[in-house]
Amino acid sequence: MKKKPVIGIIPLWDEEKESVWMVPGYLDGIRDAGGIPMILPLVPHMEDIGQLDSMVDGYLFTGGHDVDPHMYGEEPLPVCGTCCHERDILEEKIYGIAKAEDKPVLGICRGIQLINVLQGGTLYQDLPQQFSGTKEIEHHMTAPYDRTVHEVQITEGTPLYTLLGQKTLPVNSYHHQGVHTVGKGLEVMAVSEDGLVEGVYVPDKKFIWGIQWHPEFIYQKDDTARKIFRAFVEACV
């Protein structure tokens, strides 16, 4: 039997319940694509990360808390949401290891934002207050999330274009922050209708992608979401 790749998934944190939790779509999307999802501990001992890394073949950086603005040299504004320092620390460490080892990374929502910051870029702390797009579109949709609310333009010649073979892609959208200045070493592969960067990748790595939309909510009915999960899992083999 062919060995399935194990995907380390960054957990989410609920402050009120003081509990780790997970959106099932992340796990199911990875499983449906042929991988084995493994939720990582939120606060492992730093000396344990190396051992955890030996158990996984790639990493999925999930959505969730806002990235701490101090990580990109800014003070938090009142419009900035709640941050989770434990996640920031864990993901920064894991991203450095994955990048050094050329292990695949897929960042979704917060994930693209974090990748951008760790590559030296900055974020809009709040799109409604700081971003003036070329047109008004919905970035923070209401439930249900398994539907599309705007489109992104896919840059020709990028891995996402090669994978999907289309110039536009309808997406769902649930975020209030976004990529401002693009980090060093990143290339843009998708831009929303209002000009916001919504897809990036690292060209000289096997697979480091960040996307702003949420395939975990829509993969059951959307083939492009399934293709993204499959491309990531296959890169982890």
Q: Is 109 among the residues known to form the active site?
A: yes
Secondary structure of residue 90 in the 3-state scheme:
helix
73 exposure class (CB count in 10 Å sphere: 0-12, 13-18, 19+): exposed
Catalytic residue among 65, 175, 180, 216: 216
Contact 67, 21 (CB under 8 A): no
Contact 9, 62 (CB under 8 A): yes
Report CA-CA distances (Å) from 157 to 8, 140, 184, 190, 234: 29, 29, 19, 11, 20
Nearest to 134 by CA among 70, 67, 196, 52: 196
Catalytic residue among 65, 139, 175, 214: 214
CA distance 234 to 211: 18
Q: Is 236 among the residues known to form the active site?
A: no
Catalytic residue among 80, 109, 139, 180: 109
Contact 90, 83 (CB under 8 A): no
Which residues belong to the active site? 109, 214, 216
